[in-house]
Structure 1
Amino acid sequence: MMVSEGEYLKKILLSHVYDVAVKSDLVKLDKLSAALDNDIWLKREDQQPVKSFKLRGAYNRISQLTEAQRQAGVIAASAGNHAQGVAYSARIKQIKAVIVMPQTTPDIKVDAVRTFGGDYVQVVLHGTSFDAASSEARRLSDEHGYTFIPPFDDADVIAGQGTIGRELLEQNPDLDTLFIAVGGGGLAAGIAVYLKQLKPDLKIIAVESEESACLKAALEAGKPVELPSVGIFADGVAVKLIGTETFRLCQQYVDEVITVSSDEICAGIKDIFDDTRVIAEPAGALSVAGMRKYVQQHGLKGRKLGGILCGANINFHTLRYVSERCELGEQKEAVFAVKIPEQSGAFRNFCRLLGGRAITEFNYRFASDKEAHIFVGLKLREGRAEFAHISQTLNQAGYQLFDLSDNEMAKLHVRYMVGGRPPALLNEHIFSFEFPEHPGALMKFLDTLGERWNITLFHYRNHGAAEGLVLAGFDIPEGSRSEFDRHVAQLGYSFEEQTDNPAYRFFLSDLNGVFTD
């Protein structure tokens, strides 16, 4: 039976979520507001006991159970925030809960579910995918009479998430545009069905990851359609098929859909951190990523825009990836490959053409007697327009350039694999340096060493610390080592020779893996 809009309004207003949920803060993001020239507000659902909004829907659904259903227990399939919401709710309600998770689920998530549920929760690890875990949960539900708690496609779950809309309207009734992340659609459906009945002129924009845009696909097809695959970076919204009821509500009440890349999501995580010092999970930063992109696409100014930090259960090791990619998402960095002639001074001439711009990464390896291939990261002050100008300058100077800023394989893998063994025997010596992070440090290095001795290997990455770490190789002919040492001393940079380092000898030297004691 279809639930009417009026019934949803009643369900939301009478929801039991505040037995466990907090009325999360709506905070202004001052730095982002200034950067985008709009008033930006963020709903802090990371403040919930399970660090995500999912607690609202799970608890509201469990609160509607009959006494017989309570006695039989509940079951859910999830590897993320929904599992934690169900586990927490079951413990509060003192109801047995079975949570089915894929066998590939990281231990940190399994342990979190057990911690939140305590003695009331049993975790079952089954299969290697969410689909397999969900099928097993359905089977166990039929076998034991458990009530299945869906992650999004359920009226009571939708109403629980809709309580966020109620709070938003109370906290800032002047918002004119709201951005909401979409995975299965429960969050967007619940908020939209509430807000559009009370403030129909409020614009609601759904934000999806480019790698799991199931709402966009459904709107184009006029019905829910299953995606062939989904990306796993924003795992909180990695849903192949939007719910039937959530799609009905989103189709009726959501005004637009925008998709964002993984790099843009990383930029959103950084935007949130800069203003709040909170680290959002990728799905939790979708609304801010979409907001930034939408403002730039449509030239919005002076508007009151809202977003929802819908989760902060991030794997700590994901931060390394986020740090690498956020400035690409903000269009504050470009990465590209260039062919340069293999001759004395070519490296220095190339750097001079960059006009003093900050180099964030430089991978170089001697390739042949005629040319070298380099992988470059460059900090941009004026976005992609500035990079277009740089490209033109380099092309006019005779350099062949390949933009890799949108090449996922290059950014994820190749940037760390530039190198290999030289095709000819060299008198190569390898050194690690600590560069002071200030303009001119690289040019000082090249002016001191790069003209007299051929550079055969170079890797540098700026991570914003006081000093950058550099690995460099030089072809030092026999009899000139003492002269080289004098020039290195003139630099004043800390350094250490690494020629005998086994990692270098095994992977990069011309000794074909020979080790020395």
Structure 2
Amino acid sequence: MPHQYIKKILASRVYEAAVETPLDEATNLSARLQNRVLLKREDLQPVFSFKIRGAYNKLAQLSDDERARGVICASAGNHAQGLAMAASVMGVKAVIVMPRPTPEIKVNAVKARGGQVVLHGDTFDEALAYALQQVDEKGYVFVHPYDDPYTIAGQGTIGMEILRQESGPIHSIFIPVGGGGLAAGIAVYIKYLYPDVRVIAVESEESACLKAAMDAGERVKLPQVGIFADGIAVAQIGEHTFDLCRKYVDEVITVSTDEICAAIKDVFTDTRSIPEPAGAASIAGMKKYVERENIEGETLIGIVSGANMNFSRLRYVAERTDLGEKTEALLAVKLPERPGSFREFCLTLGKRAVTEFNYRYADSNTAHVFAGISLGKHGEGKEELLQNLREKDFEVVDLSDDEMAKLHIRYMIGGQASGVTNEELFRFEFPEKPGALLRFLNQFGDRFNVSMFHYRNHGAAEARILVGLQIDPEQRDEARKAMDELGYPYWEESDNQAYKLFLR
């Protein structure tokens, strides 16, 4: 089986549209990790991602009749741009079906590369169903984004380039995984020639479909996926890609949103380019691996798979970077409401830099502080700080890993509503499209009062919402049923410590 892929990779025609990207040394990251870190710069492709390779290689294998019929795909991301450009170079009609809420910048990018954009449906699944319907009705050839042998072989040319560009021993190669085409193509080539090189797949914790499949021994479909790293936000690994990954990938590492944000900064520091979250996931996985294995002096390669970043998302990335590096702690502290206690708290912090500070009078006995504190490398000094505060009889809660505190509470510190009764708190993910909020409000009607509502746009397809609802005890089952029928992912946060301290 590997022989057929090696032949396809060697015979690939990707360079009629793609370029051979450099393998750059990341000097700052190398110094920090005490290993030689090389970045495979697929963000420098003409469409700013590796997808042009697989898309073009697939089109190059079509018959004249198939090309005359035209090709189609459903995508709101890098595959859309890759297929549009590949088809343009080859003179083939390309129809790209995109969900209606797709950001205009992505729609315009596909049009600029010669793709015929059709906006259909509110979700990717609706767009995909329409694209497949057009295959049946109009005879288009459907081009899969990852689960096709020729697409996999096109991505595998990256492995071929790596071995040509780096002649010395390689310890590990870190590859971001969504549907698995990139990892499968690189892994099969690398392992065929150098089986001792470790091939490590890296997934977002919010969409770890390969890890789930590896653990189960078969492909599984995740019930839901987070879309921050949208380039690898896939619910199920492909059939062909899973067959290859379970044979040739040594392990799967999952990384958090904060760790990805920190890796984006790492790549920017060394290259002055900004990778998309999926593009930086490999670096986040590499850092995690080095810390776990405590290796030094090795050559490590990370695939920077793309740079199609929404500009509006940069604010969110910057906010989460220090938490991802563990160089910031978010703390909630109760201060006794007496003269000098605030000064004593500040003295206890010492010379540590304060990144954020919110102080709120609670009652005649207590005040609440929500603070961001700078820490040393890898969180050095946090435990000492917590101990010092507790020795001074300050009640302190570490909120550094509390998702609700990071997403919402830090922007809402304004006090508690003492007159609100029977309030319950929920986090929702809404689709970022017109009518989503109205649908939410209509679902609950006049049965439950909205006592709190917080929303921040993160430049993604899903909006993060924090909602307080006044629900009488006898209405709890009715409220849960209404939420389930709504169909939006949600989590109850009524017992969250940050909520109890600052908002309830």
**Fold equivalence (TM over 0.5):** yes
SS in structure 1 opposite 2:155?
helix
- From 230, 236, 239, the equivalent of 1:241 is 236
SS in structure 1 opposite 2:113?
helix
- From 249, 266, 273, the equivalent of 1:271 is 266
- From 146, 151, 160, the equivalent of 1:157 is 151
What does residue range 57-456 of structure 1 map to in structure 2 within 5 Å? 57-117=54-114, 121-173=115-167, 174-420=169-415
Name the TM-score, length of structure 2 as normaliser: 0.82
The amino acid across from 2:235 in the alignment is K
CA distance in structure 2 between the partners assigned to 1:226 and 1:219 by the alignment: 12
Q: Flag the 1:114–1:394 CA change in 2: closer, same or farther, 3 A.
A: same
The amino acid across from 1:311 in the alignment is G
The amino acid across from 2:273 in the alignment is V
Q: Flag the 1:382–1:52 CA change in 2: closer, same or farther, 3 A.
A: closer
Shift of the alpha carbon at 1:110? 0.7
Q: Which moved more, 1:133-142 or 1:383-392?
A: 383-392
Shift of the alpha carbon at 1:344? 2.3
Deviations 1:73-119 (A, max 9, x none): 000011100000000011111111111111111111111111111xx
Tell me the percent identity.
Answer: 58
Shift of the alpha carbon at 1:43? 0.3
Shift of the alpha carbon at 1:143? 1.0
Shift of the alpha carbon at 1:34? 0.4
CA distance in structure 2 between the partners assigned to 1:238 and 1:123 by the alignment: 22
State the match for 2:458 in structure 1: none
Specify the structure having the higher radius of gyration (Cα). 1
Deviations 1:44-98 (A, max 9, x none): 0011000000000000001111011011000001110000000001111111111
Shift of the alpha carbon at 1:323? 0.5
Given that residues 367 and 422 in structure 1 are in contact (C-alpha distance below 8 angstroms), is that contact kept between their aligned partners in structure 2? Answer: no
RMSD: 1.3
SS in structure 2 opposite 1:317?
helix
SS in structure 2 opposite 1:374?
strand
Shift of the alpha carbon at 1:423? 7.7
Deviations 1:125-182 (A, max 9, x none): 1112211211111111111110000000000000000000000000113222100000
Q: Flag the 1:407–1:421 CA change in 2: closer, same or farther, 3 A.
A: closer
Shift of the alpha carbon at 1:422? 9.1
Deviations 1:375-401 (A, max 9, x none): 110111143342111111111111111
Shift of the alpha carbon at 1:276? 0.5
Shift of the alpha carbon at 1:343? 2.1
CA distance in structure 2 between the partners assigned to 1:362 and 1:383 by the alignment: 22
CA distance in structure 1 between the partners assigned to 2:417 and 2:245 by the alignment: 58
Shift of the alpha carbon at 1:298? 1.4
Q: Which runs of 5+ in 1 are unaligned?
A: 425-517
CA distance in structure 1 between the partners assigned to 2:254 and 2:132 by the alignment: 32
State the match for 1:477 in structure 2: none
The amino acid across from 1:335 in the alignment is L
The amino acid across from 1:409 in the alignment is M
Query: How many corresponding residue pairs?
Result: 418
Q: Which moved more, 1:292-301 or 1:182-191?
A: 292-301
Given that residues 366 and 422 in structure 1 are in contact (C-alpha distance below 8 angstroms), is that contact kept between their aligned partners in structure 2? Answer: no
Deviations 1:160-213 (A, max 9, x none): 000000000001132221000000000000000111001111000100000000
Is 2:9 the counterpart of 1:15? no
SS in structure 2 opposite 1:162?
helix
- From 27, 40, 44, the equivalent of 2:37 is 40
CA distance in structure 2 between the partners assigned to 1:350 and 1:162 by the alignment: 57
The amino acid across from 1:169 in the alignment is L
CA distance in structure 1 between the partners assigned to 2:64 and 2:15 by the alignment: 21
Shift of the alpha carbon at 1:268? 0.4
Shift of the alpha carbon at 1:420? 3.4
State the match for 2:470 in structure 1: none
Name the TM-score, length of structure 1 as normaliser: 0.80
CA distance in structure 2 between the partners assigned to 1:423 and 1:53 by the alignment: 54
Shift of the alpha carbon at 1:421? 7.3
CA distance in structure 2 between the partners assigned to 1:296 and 1:323 by the alignment: 23
CA distance in structure 2 between the partners assigned to 1:213 and 1:17 by the alignment: 29
CA distance in structure 1 between the partners assigned to 2:213 and 2:327 by the alignment: 34
CA distance in structure 1 between the partners assigned to 2:207 and 2:263 by the alignment: 17
Given that residues 27 and 42 in structure 1 are in contact (C-alpha distance below 8 angstroms), is that contact kept between their aligned partners in structure 2? Answer: yes
The amino acid across from 1:59 in the alignment is Y
State the match for 2:423 in structure 1: none
Shift of the alpha carbon at 1:351? 1.0
Given that residues 367 and 423 in structure 1 are in contact (C-alpha distance below 8 angstroms), is that contact kept between their aligned partners in structure 2? Answer: no
Q: Which moved more, 1:293-302 or 1:260-269?
A: 293-302
SS in structure 2 opposite 1:191?
helix
CA distance in structure 1 between the partners assigned to 2:206 and 2:306 by the alignment: 19
The amino acid across from 2:338 in the alignment is Q
Q: Flag the 1:154–1:388 CA change in 2: closer, same or farther, 3 A.
A: same
Shift of the alpha carbon at 1:354? 1.1
SS in structure 2 opposite 1:363?
strand
Q: Flag the 1:71–1:372 CA change in 2: closer, same or farther, 3 A.
A: same
The amino acid across from 1:194 in the alignment is Y
SS in structure 1 opposite 2:39?
strand
Deviations 1:197-256 (A, max 9, x none): 011110001000000000000001111100000001000000001000100000000001
Q: Flag the 1:422–1:208 CA change in 2: closer, same or farther, 3 A.
A: closer
The amino acid across from 1:186 in the alignment is G
CA distance in structure 1 between the partners assigned to 2:56 and 2:374 by the alignment: 46
CA distance in structure 2 between the partners assigned to 1:391 and 1:420 by the alignment: 24
